[in-house]
């Protein structure tokens, strides 16, 4: 795993935003470096991945869902979470579903590879690399607390990462026509 098997420092930096016992969706969770870390902090995690073998050992810690996120229907229709986490995974058609899976006032935490990564290794295909500023489009309508686009070390890699908060229940949009 680029960056190692320990939890992303971005997740660790922002996890204090999650309320105690928060429900967290870890999308494309893989072998669960974040699922394990979050479950250990008392959060109720749902991990989704197509890799059933990777999810198997995680089922004692969390809800696990085996699903092909790119070739099948959205596996969690109607479900909403206090936080949605996506790291080292990009499939653009999922952006609306990710937004819809975020509860009122929920926290979106993302970190994945960006254009420029080609200089350092995989992934190198443009379909798996965020365009400049693209992660901000995922957060349209959310309150962006932090956004970075740059190089990380260990190993060197180019990423965008973002943390954003959904409007609370009943909040009126500050954009659009007056009521």
Ligand X SMILES: C[S@@+](CC[C@H](N)C(=O)[O-])C[C@H]1O[C@@H](n2cnc3c(N)ncnc32)[C@H](O)[C@@H]1O
Q: Which two tokens stand for residue 123?
A: 């992934």
Asked if 109 and 84 count as a contact pair (C-beta separation under 8 A), the reply is: yes
Cβ proximity to ligand X: between 9 and 51 the closer is 51
Helix, strand, coil percentages in the chain from 3-state DSSP, rounded to 5: 25, 30, 45
Q: Which of 65, 144, 64, 161 is nearest to 107 (CA)?
A: 144
* Residue in this structure with the two tokens 């954003």, named with its chain if needed: 164
Q: Which residues contribute to the site for ligand X (CB under 6 A)?
A: 1, 28-30, 33, 49-51, 54, 68-70, 87-89
Cβ proximity to ligand X: between 128 and 147 the closer is 128
State the minimum distance, in angstroms, from the CB of residue 49 to ligand X. 5
State the minimum distance, in angstroms, from the CB of residue 117 to ligand X. 12
State the minimum distance, in angstroms, from the CB of residue 23 to ligand X. 18
Asked if 4 and 154 count as a contact pair (C-beta separation under 8 A), the reply is: yes
Cβ proximity to ligand X: between 9 and 104 the closer is 9
- Residue of closest CB approach to ligand X: 30
Cβ proximity to ligand X: between 28 and 172 the closer is 28
- How far apart (Å, rounded) are the C-alpha atoms in residues 22 and 85? 12
State the minimum distance, in angstroms, from the CB of residue 31 to ligand X. 7
């Amino acid at each position: 795993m680029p960056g190692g098997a320990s939890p992303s420092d971005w997740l660790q930096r922002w996890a204090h935003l999650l309320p105690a016992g928060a429900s967290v969706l870890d999308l494309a969770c893989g072998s669960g470096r974040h699922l394990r870390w979050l479950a250990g902090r008392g959060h109720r995690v749902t991990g989704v991945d197509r890799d059933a073998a990777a999810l198997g050992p995680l089922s004692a810690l969390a809800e696990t869902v085996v699903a092909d996120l790119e070739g099948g229907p959205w596996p969690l229709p109607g479900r909403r979470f206090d936080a949605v986490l996506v790291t080292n995974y990009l499939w653009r058609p999922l952006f609306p579903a990710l937004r819809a899976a975020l509860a009122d006032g929920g926290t979106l935490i993302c970190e994945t590879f960006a254009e420029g990564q080609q200089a350092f290794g995989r992934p190198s295909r443009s379909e798996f690399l965020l365009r400049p500023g693209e992660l901000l489009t995922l957060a349209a309508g959310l309150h962006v607390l932090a956004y970075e686009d740059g190089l990380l070390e260990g190993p060197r890699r180019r990423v965008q990462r973002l943390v954003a908060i959904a409007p609370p229940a009943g909040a009126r949009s500050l954009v659009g026509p007056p009521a």
